Structure 1
Amino acid sequence: MLTSLSIKNYALIDNLQVNFNNGLTIITGETGAGKSILLGGLSLVLGKRADLSNVKDASIKCVIEATFDVANYDLKSLFKEEDLDYEPLTIVRREILPSGKSRAFINDTPVNLDSLQTLGEHLLDIHSQHQTLQLTNDDFQFQVIDALADNAKLLSEYSNQLSIYKSLKRELTQLQEQKNEFTKELDYNLFLLKELEAAKLEDDDLETLEEEYETLNNIEEIKDKLSASYQLLSNEDIGVISNLTELKNQFAKISEYSANYKAIFERINSSLIELDDVFSEIETAQDQLEDDPNRLEVVNAKLQVLHNLMQKHIVSNVSELISIRENLKEKVSVTENMDTQIVAIEKKLKTIEQQLNQLAKDIHKTRENAIPTLTEQLEAILGSLGMPNAKFKVELKLVDKFLLNGKDELSFLFSANKGGQFNELKKAASGGELSRIMLAIKSILSKYTQLPTIMFDEIDTGVSGEISNKMGSIMQQMSKTMQVFTITHLPQIASKGDTHFKVFKEDVDEVTQTQLKKLTSEERIVEIAQMLGGATLSDSALEHAKQLLN
């Protein structure tokens, strides 16, 4: 229940602090006195978006703080889910800074608006005049019937399965689209892959083949040059090795005479060793050199294949061709494996469809079972509210598609007159009738939900006299099991309250401010008398007010 409310620097409120009790709390005041300001402040605490224009003095921050006694309500698990410290007396605070930014806190822990709204839904239900129109909304109608059917667990399971189902559906659609696209390319990709695999590509292929081609293509010249080189090195008379050996021998004789000669000798010796190696390599090259026209054709053909492939795939080296080959392998493999993936997803979907269908049937059955309870209780309450011939009907139809909350289509139908035809609420009920229907539904829901506090904002619109008296009695009855606030302009309802607050404006230092005052017994008599007969009090109005209060 809401135990206290503090509002600072909001709209026409400078500083307001008020404590509340359990039971039925009445709030009255003249039109424009500021009742909507109280609702606006509470709405901010419950997660409504902040607006700097509502701040009284934009140079300082606005603070709205509400304290809720949640000790008797099973909210510990919710606090744990939201990662909040649980306190039996929970304090919710909202701040609007001069910069326009807002902050929210639950038990001094900073939270985002989503967390604030989630907790707010379990603390306080503000029923505005606009909310009466929700009666004609499918979502609200499902909320009503599901509350009576106790469908929370079933709906949660259904929602989780539906989320998985939709995700798998999207995945299946994407795979099928990819498969169609890849299948179109599969034949061409297989052709390209076979072409690249036939080339038996290796990273150094191009360089090796080009070198071999140059050798084979110029073999006669190479033979001649190698032979000439061999002769230049090995000829006994004029060969370089023979002459260099003689040079070495000459310097060997004088190398001991000076360090300079010895250095020259060592250099000649090194050159000779190097020439011997070169000579050996030339001999080996001559032995290995073979004139093979067939091999030349093979090498030339393979080079032509490589150059054609590089030109075809617009690359400059074999490494890039190898990369393309591997990508094609992957594409072909993915395409060929897609059927397996699709079958696996379809199998999962079939299983989840079965689960969803069963859950939807269970939800439909519990809703069907709850409908008579709703219609009987609703018609009984409406009868006491001056609508003895009112008839209420709930149409529930199972459809062949998965909807957000089952497979049902739901419609609340209403007939106000005896023998009248049923029609949709928005077409069949007047404003005053909608108010009474909404109060009746809220009264019924209060028996099935754990909501600790409800606030009615002029739910008595369009009614008067004895009907308003009955509406007040219903709210009074509701307040025995929950905290009820009602903002009203009807004295019959105002007289039913356990506590009565008056909203009024007053000028303080030439500045208009909204105030909230808890009325004494005598002040209540005066307030209700003025609601009955206007600002000028009469003895009859005062007497009537006393009778209503008694």
Structure 2
Amino acid sequence: MLTHLAIRNYALIEDLRVDFKGGLTTITGETGAGKSILLESLGLVLGNRADRSALRDTEKKCVVEAEFAVGAYPGMREFFETRDLDYDAQTLLRREIRPNGKSRAFINDTPVTLGVMEELGQRLIDVHSQHQTLELTDRDFQLRVVDALAGNGPLLETYRETRKTYLEMEKRLQALRNERDLAFREQDYNEFLLEELNGANLEPGMQERLEEEQATLSNSEQIIGLLGNADQVMQEEEYGLLAMLGRLRQVTSKLAAYGSRFSQLHERVQSLLIESDDIATEFADLTDQQQPDPDALEKVNSQLGRLFDLQKKHQVATVEELLAIRDSLSRKVHDTAQLETDIEALDGKIEKLQDSLNRIAGQLSERRAGVLPGFTEDLRKELVELGIPNASFTWELLQREAFGPSGRDVLELLFTANKGGNYGPLKKSASGGELSRIMLAIKARLAAFEALPTMMFDEIDTGVSGEISNRMGDIMREMSRHMQVFAITHLPQVASKGHQQYKVYKEDVEGRTTTRIRQLSQEERIQELAQMLGGSQLTDTALTHARELLN
């Protein structure tokens, strides 16, 4: 419910502040007084676009604030939480337009995008005029009306949750099928690559080992020659290293008797001789082992060649990278087989969800069909009182294959305003005035079944007679039992139905025209209604009639 509106520096409005109550509020004023400006400025906090041309004083910023009591609106706390906004039962929407034309939007002093403000605004106020009756011709809106009358809310929630899961699984299934098809196209090649890598008997470090073997086998003659030279250096009888170290040991053995320093030196020579003897033995063993082996060399060269070919083919430089590719190919080959199993399992789940959706959609369809005859008759009777005596409706309730957001039904309201006339879609069969009255009748029914936002009717009574406008006023007053309703009107019959009445007027202040609004007292309402009935001259007849309307 809109409880407070403050507007500063917008069009003809310099500084306007007004409080509102529940029930039906009627707003009157002469043509050009600024009622449309009031709506336009309110539209700013509902997410409408604006620029600096709307500023009264282009050197100052424009600020519009609207305070709403939102505690009674269903799902409002969740709306705030999911958008990381501070929830307050008294919520403040603020819009600022700077002199440079840039604007900012706030909800409870938290900056928000215009999209978020618009989304919240749609939940708070429904501004209705003849230009906005196109919603009535929308099939989704018509379906929402019927669902409200049928009490389909809980069933629709179950359906939509099930449909959400169904669509997610369908998406996952399609992704799996695409993955499988791609895997099948690559399967033979992947298996060939995997077999090729498995055949290479890859092991970590094998490239370094093979390259070492290749170096040894390729240079066996040079190695044998060098080992022979080393053995000669170690073993030569007269000048070999072992013979010389043996003589040195004899010398240090005698020195050892003259003190610890000499004995330590002797031990070191002794160790050197032992190590040298061990090295000589190793040279001898290597010489015995080192024989030319062309077959072994060919085998090593073949293994290295195969390894280098695989690295070039897979564009890598190490055996470890080839091993990673082998493991990846192994997973792909295995996963291709697993994909079929996953697809079959998911298919089974989707089939069960389809059964559930078909069952719930069938229930929705039955409940809709059940309320349509009574709703159609109520609507017809209401429109007779609203000046469309020959109004007649019929509904087309068709089934589609796909699961839509609200089931499988396609619903369209068909209308004729003439006896014996052909039924047709509302947008083709009803005039603007007829659409407005049909919308009023439908929303009046809807208000008793669904929590609607504040409703603002902008001269919905244009072009209707006094008696019909009287009935329209009664409908809006009845609606206000369930919600806050505003009616901007030129008709005294409608204005008199308000629980409170406000007047929009212009006033010249210091040489500038300013739009103002104020709530009328009981006596002021009588005078305002009398002027609406008889013009600026307040006759006794007009005043009497005005009192009768209020009473």
TM-score, normalization by structure 2: 0.88
**Secondary structure in 2 matching 1:82:** helix
2:234 alignment partner in structure 1: 233
1:401 alignment partner in structure 2: 402
CA distance in 2, matches of 1:519, 1:301: 105
1:324 alignment partner in structure 2: 325
1:213-252 matches, within 5 Å, as 213-250=214-251, 252=253
The answer to whether structure 1 residue 29 and structure 2 residue 12 are counterparts is: no
CA distance in 1, matches of 2:129, 2:425: 22
Contact 1:55 1:62 in 2 (8 A): no
**Secondary structure in 2 matching 1:22:** coil
**Shift in alpha-carbon separation, 1:44–1:366, aligned structure 2, 3 A:** farther
Residue by residue, what CA displacement relative to the aligned partner does 1:358-394 show, whole Å, maximum 9, x if unpaired? 1211111111112122101100100111222110112
Structure 1 stretch 323-332 or stretch 198-207: which is displaced more? 323-332
* Equivalent position amino acid for 2:22 in 1: N
**Shift in alpha-carbon separation, 1:188–1:466, aligned structure 2, 3 A:** same
CA distance in 1, matches of 2:265, 2:229: 28
* Equivalent position amino acid for 1:171 in 2: R
1:41-120 matches, within 5 Å, as 41-46=41-46, 48=48, 54-57=54-57, 59-60=60-61, 62-68=63-69, 70=71, 73=72, 75=74, 78-79=76-77, 82-83=80-81, 90-96=90-96, 98=98, 100-106=102-108, 120=121
**Shift in alpha-carbon separation, 1:345–1:504, aligned structure 2, 3 A:** same
* Equivalent position amino acid for 1:176 in 2: R
CA distance in 2, matches of 1:3, 1:119: 16
* Equivalent position amino acid for 1:33 in 2: A
**Shift in alpha-carbon separation, 1:293–1:480, aligned structure 2, 3 A:** closer
CA distance in 2, matches of 1:373, 1:300: 93
CA distance in 2, matches of 1:51, 1:157: 44
Cα RMSD over matched residues? Answer: 3.1
Structure 1 stretch 138-147 or stretch 254-263: which is displaced more? 254-263
CA distance in 2, matches of 1:314, 1:428: 71
Contact 1:50 1:96 in 2 (8 A): no
2:16 alignment partner in structure 1: 16
2:478 alignment partner in structure 1: 477
1:439 alignment partner in structure 2: 440
1:133-144 matches, within 5 Å, as 133-144=134-145
The alpha-carbon deviation at position 65 of structure 1 amounts to: 3.1
TM-score, normalization by structure 1: 0.89
1:64-463 matches, within 5 Å, as 64-68=65-69, 70=71, 73=72, 75=74, 78-79=76-77, 82-83=80-81, 90-96=90-96, 98=98, 100-106=102-108, 120=121, 123-250=124-251, 252-253=253-254, 271-451=272-452, 453-463=454-464
Structure 2 stretches of 5 or more lacking a match? Answer: none
The alpha-carbon deviation at position 544 of structure 1 amounts to: 4.6
Structure 1 stretch 290-299 or stretch 42-51: which is displaced more? 42-51
CA distance in 1, matches of 2:114, 2:158: 26
Residue by residue, what CA displacement relative to the aligned partner does 1:105-155 show, whole Å, maximum 9, x if unpaired? 34x777776776666555443323332121111221122111111122222
**Shift in alpha-carbon separation, 1:215–1:459, aligned structure 2, 3 A:** same
Contact 2:97 2:104 in 1 (8 A): yes
* Equivalent position amino acid for 2:525 in 1: R
**Shift in alpha-carbon separation, 1:317–1:417, aligned structure 2, 3 A:** same
**Shift in alpha-carbon separation, 1:260–1:475, aligned structure 2, 3 A:** same
**Shift in alpha-carbon separation, 1:252–1:513, aligned structure 2, 3 A:** farther
CA distance in 1, matches of 2:97, 2:453: 30
* Equivalent position amino acid for 2:344 in 1: V
CA distance in 1, matches of 2:164, 2:86: 30
CA distance in 2, matches of 1:160, 1:285: 79
CA distance in 2, matches of 1:270, 1:128: 111
* Equivalent position amino acid for 2:132 in 1: Q
The alpha-carbon deviation at position 196 of structure 1 amounts to: 0.6
The alpha-carbon deviation at position 486 of structure 1 amounts to: 0.3
CA distance in 1, matches of 2:208, 2:78: 68
Contact 1:393 1:412 in 2 (8 A): yes
Contact 1:27 1:503 in 2 (8 A): yes
**Shift in alpha-carbon separation, 1:510–1:316, aligned structure 2, 3 A:** same
Q: What number of residue pairs does the alignment pair up?
A: 545
